[in-house]
Amino acid sequence: MAKTDPERRSQPLQDILFDQGFGTRRICAGLIQQGHVLVAAGEAGALVPCTDVNAVFDPRGLRLRVQGMDWECQVRACLMLHKPAGIECSQKPSAWPSVYTLLPAPLRQRPNKGAVQGVQAVGRLDQDTTGLLLLTDDGQLIHRLASPKHDVPKVYEVTLKHPADAGICARLLAGVVLDDDPRPVRAAACELDDPLHLRLTLTGGKYHQVKRMVAAAGNRVEALHRSQIGGLRLPADLAVGQWRWLRAEDLALLGV
């Protein structure tokens, strides 16, 4: 593998491992020198050992195997996770395990990118809420997706405690008043699939918003699942508790 860098886009392997979150530069150098790092450029390239910390590679599209773990290099880490119930979206959980324990160590240890250390959840889901959760170390992307100014729609599948009719949709679309704001909060879209299942689309991000809106409309949430953010749906083949990288087409569906 070439050590030249004519376009000045490549980096020493030691720096790539550090940027990907495999530890301090000293730890990364040790992994390389001890033969624990295999490298392959491109999807078809074969993984081969590299023991030279200064060997230069373009991190874009670079595949690694570090201590037996396959890794696809990402300049910016953007991923989706199928959040289970009983998990908190917090680095310092109070009563439940942290969602970050579902991620491999490199994602939690990536060095600072601006104000962000490691990947951070884009917004939060309650511990009992399941579904689509985005995480990234890109501070601008977090702001773009989480800010209420950008009105990124989020779709929730709501299991109701009491059977409902079309009237609940009318109330949620017209707007309900929550206890912390005298202004009505409206759903962007709402449909009742059956008397106990509501599909609700919101653009805001108030605390416990879905549960509070449903309560204000005269019912109660028994279970809550986020199925979509923007145009991005939770893939049917992404198992509960699993994650995968966001591709360019996924980010396009998010409008970023």
Pairing of strands 129-136, 221-229: parallel
Compute CA distances 99 → 151, 162, 183, whole Å: 25, 30, 33
Q: What are phi and psi of 194, to 5 degrees?
A: -155, 175
Classify the C-alpha dihedral 170-173-175-176 as positive or negative.
positive
**AA identity, residue 220:** R
Inter-residue contact 3 to 54 (CB < 8 Å): yes
Q: Which residues are catalytic?
A: 126
Q: Helix (H, G, I), strand (E, B), or coil: what is residue 63?
A: strand
d(CA 221, CA 25): 49
Q: Residue 36: in which H helix or E strand, if any?
A: none
